[in-house]
Amino acid sequence: MAYIQKKKYYKILFTICLAILLFLIIASSTLGVADISLKQAISILGSRLPIIENFISLENIRSNHVTIIFNIRLPRIILSSLVGIGLSVSGAAFQGMFKNPMADPYVLGISSGAALGATIAIVLGIQSSLLGLSGVTIMAFVGAITAGFIVYNIARVGNKVPVVTLLLAGVTLSFLLSSIISIIMIFNRQQVDKIVFWIMGSISAASWNHVITVFPFVTIGSFIIAFFARDLNIFLMGDESARSLGVEVEKLKKTLLFLTSIIVAATVSVSGVIGFVGLIIPHTIRLLLGPDHRVLIPFSALGGAIFMIISDTLARTLIPPTEIPVGAITSLFGAPYFIYLLIKSKKQVI
């Protein structure tokens, strides 16, 4: 009976969070240099919805406002929410797999691989595009996937992937790639600003092509990870206990590593390195709602989307027309909160 009541509570809470997300999408589309009211934004967005479009007129709304909403702000808002979902769900999976609430989706060196790929593209001036994506985005994705592949093969021992070895390999490769990036920047000082801005994270170049490209990676990957929620719950009991309960531990590790690597590579390639989202959001949800991954994963997805939309909106509106890298905003929120959690956990130990 208590479980049924709890399930109803989670459904109501999820609906509320979803409503907040939808409101933020609409509200954030009104913010920017161009002055667009909430009523106009609702009319513009509603004009593209089936059935509702027949009852909405855009006669009194300037055409450039419609263009700003649909071609500039909306793809950016949706892309930021997808990045938040991807990083948060990956973070929840990593924390479950490593059995450590402080684990981060960038732990495999994927972000450093993406940063190196983007740096090479910027320095070489690679402008060629594929499917409407820039050379920087493509090179970042290739770099991220390559880094994940290298870390996996370094850590692999036969058919097993020891978690500690994986973690050490990821951290070591991150330092190595960061050093290479620093050396490249020294010899290409004229490109330093572009490289640093990309590494700090930004969604300013968002387009519908980016949304279309990232959407299947994040949604399909997140749904598959959610499918393994029960296995992740059992996985928390330890490898031996999980095996005795029928969980194929090594297969689960490989599957989760593959899925999270693809998701993180896709998100980082279009947004740059955005810290703390995959660390703080699932950790906070775990503190509020418990460690059950059947609850943790969907709420982490919503929480990540909400957090990223708020952060990106602040990044582009705090000091107009100058834009702050969104990675700086997430770190500004995330770092103090992370310190607070560490102090709190230290007190509990004492």
pTM of the complete model beyond 0.85: yes
Q: What is the pLDDT of residue 2?
A: 58
List of residues 6+ apart from 290 with CB closer than 8 A:
296
Residues 119-147: pLDDT tens digits?
998 888 876 666 566 778 888 888 888 98
Q: Which residue has the tokens 């479009």?
A: 53
Q: What is the pLDDT of residue 317?
A: 87
Q: What is the pLDDT of residue 3?
A: 56
Q: Provide the greatest CA pair distance for the chain.
A: 67
Q: For the chain, what percentages of helix, strand and coil (3-state, to nearest 5) are there?
A: 75, 0, 25
User: What does the alpha-carbon distance between residue 113 and residue 73 come to, in Å, rounded to a whole number?
Assistant: 29
Q: Which residue has the tokens 């968002």?
A: 206
Residue 312's nearest CA partner among 280, 279, 272 is 272
User: What does the alpha-carbon distance between residue 140 and residue 272 come to, in Å, rounded to a whole number?
Assistant: 8
How far does Cα 53 stand from its chain's mean position? 32
User: What does the alpha-carbon distance between residue 164 and residue 166 come to, in Å, rounded to a whole number?
Assistant: 5
Specify whether the CB–CB gap between 311 and 271 falls below 8 A: no
Residue 151 inside a domain? The answer is yes
What's the domain count of the chain? 1
Q: Which domain holds residue 145?
A: 76-349
| CA-to-CA separations, 266 to 12, 26, 97, 232, in angstroms, rounded | 31, 25, 21, 23
Identify the DSSP state of 272: -
Residue 225 inside a domain? The answer is yes
pLDDT beneath 70: ranges in the chain = 1-4, 53-54, 127-133, 345-350
Residue 3 inside a domain? The answer is no
CATH number of the domain residue 210 falls in: 1.10.3470.10
What 3-state DSSP class applies to 247? coil
Q: What is the pLDDT of residue 347?
A: 63
Residue 1 inside a domain? The answer is no
Residue 100 inside a domain? The answer is yes
